[in-house]
Amino acid sequence: MKDGAIGVFDSGIGGLTVMKELLRLLPGESFVYFGDTARVPYGNKSAETVLKFSREAIYFLMQKGVKLVVVACNTASAEALPALEKEMTIPVVGVIEPGIRAAVTATKKARVGVIGTLGTIRSGAYQNGIKQLAPDVEVFARACPLFVPLAEEGWVDGEVAGLVATRYLSEYRQEGIDTLVLGCTHYPLLHGVIGRVMGNDVTLVDSAVETAKRVAEVLSEKQLHREEEEGNFSVYLSDISPTFKQVGERFLGREIPVIHLRNG
């Protein structure tokens, strides 16, 4: 089991931001990434559809013999993970819980903002999770759907990104939050512009980084660590678009060697 790969699932390309942190923190592990590129985005679909697609994706990874599954997609973690966890026979790590723990630790004023897709925010997963862990923390949640296409287009730092970020986030300045959870796979790419709009006194919680740390913890708790110097990394997609490789390498920060098409 130790030598098995870690399965990483996302609705599409965005989970490569989580993949980047996993590769950085766990270079000795092997990974199989599955991006449901034929059906992305999940963020504006119904919870039932997100659950159905996520179940298919996770079972695909389990057929590959993975030892642990990371649900890198915030929308799938929010809307599908609670139900799917009960069906799984291997450990599953989502992105919501690590983000919640980091936010609760970071806030000094007990005022936390959360941004994500429409589905993630509608599910209340972050809001309820924070309240459960720290009932005195006030949570301000907002969907920022336009950040996803901006990140994919590579418009992460210019005038347009600045205007969109200001429009979405300026109310947060009045609400006096001191911590903001980047609750979507794509948002770490907009870290710079979001940080500038929010100001230096607001801590940005990157759920990709927090999730990689949680995966490392689970591997040692369950004694599933692979003790090799280097692992393999393969990518499966449900559709291979002409731009995936180029955009994906920007998200991942390194080359994607081979891309396989998932059949069926």
Alpha-carbon distance 224 to 215, whole Å? 10
Could you tell me the smallest distance in angstroms from the CB atom of residue 244 to ligand DGL?
A: 14
3-class DSSP state of 8: strand
Q: What is 180-247 written as a DSSP string?
A: EEEESTTGGGGHHHHHHHH-TTSEEEEHHHHHHHHHHHHHHHTT-----S---EEEEES---TTHHHH
- Is residue 248 close enough to count as binding ligand DGL by CB under 6 A? no
Could you tell me the smallest distance in angstroms from the CB atom of residue 105 to ligand DGL?
A: 22
Residue of 5, 161, 184, 224 marked catalytic: 184
Site for ligand DGL in 65-94 (CB under 6 A): 73-75
- Out of 35, 43, 99, 248, the only residue in the binding site for ligand DGL (CB under 6 A) is 43
Token reading at 26: 């766990």
The nearer residue to ligand DGL, 28 or 124, going by C-beta atoms, is 124
- Is residue 112 close enough to count as binding ligand DGL by CB under 6 A? no
Is 73 noted as a catalytic residue in this protein?
yes
Q: Which stretch binds ligand DGL (CB under 6 A): 8-16, 56-64, 98-106, 249-257?
A: 8-16
The nearer residue to ligand DGL, 71 or 177, going by C-beta atoms, is 71
- Out of 5, 7, 8, 10, the only residue in the binding site for ligand DGL (CB under 6 A) is 10
Alpha-carbon distance 65 to 26, whole Å? 19
Alpha-carbon distance 181 to 203, whole Å? 8
CB 180 within 8 Å of CB 112:
yes
Interface residues toward ligand DGL, by CB under 6 A:
10-12, 14, 40-43, 73-75, 117, 120, 148, 184-186
